[in-house]
């Protein structure tokens, strides 16, 4: 496993505060990568199929990261709804 950068550690610290709320409904969010001032996240678990996940992400995750991680200018959140083999 690769060593986390300082920026990744900052984002993970914020995500650790958010994850318990997502876990209540068997969801989670994963930090995929940080490139410059952009944070890439992925919804997993039941969050993938939740009809209000867009609202949850904008209102909670994006706001929290932008407020608590000042260098983060853009937060991109993806969802793996389908796995094609």
Strands (E), the chain: 27-35, 38-45, 74-79
Cα maximum dimension of the chain: 39
For residue 29, pLDDT over 80 is answered with yes
**In the block, residue with structure tokens 């650790």:** 16
Domains of the chain: residue spans and CATH: 7-79 (3.30.300.130)
Among candidate residues 29, 31, 18, the one with its CA nearest the CA of residue 72 = 31
Asked if 34 and 8 touch (Cβ cutoff 8 Å), the reply is: yes
- Residue 85's pLDDT is what? 46
For residue 84, pLDDT over 90 is answered with no
Measured CA to CA, the distance from residue 71 to residue 73 in angstroms comes to: 6
Q: Which of 6-20, 25-39, 56-70, 71-85 has the lowest mean pLDDT?
A: 71-85
For residue 12, pLDDT over 60 is answered with yes
- Residue 71's pLDDT is what? 96
**What's the average model confidence in pLDDT over 61-65?**
91
């Amino acid at each position: 496993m690769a060593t986390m950068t300082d920026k990744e550690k900052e984002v993970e610290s914020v995500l650790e505060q958010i994850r318990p709320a997502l876990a209540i409904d068997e969801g989670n969010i994963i930090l995929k990568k940080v490139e410059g001032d952009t944070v890439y996240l992925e919804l997993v678990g039941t969050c993938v199929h939740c009809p209000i996940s867009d609202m949850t992400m904008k209102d909670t995750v994006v706001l929290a990261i932008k407020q608590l991680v000042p260098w983060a200018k853009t937060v991109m959140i993806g969802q793996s709804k389908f796995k094609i083999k």
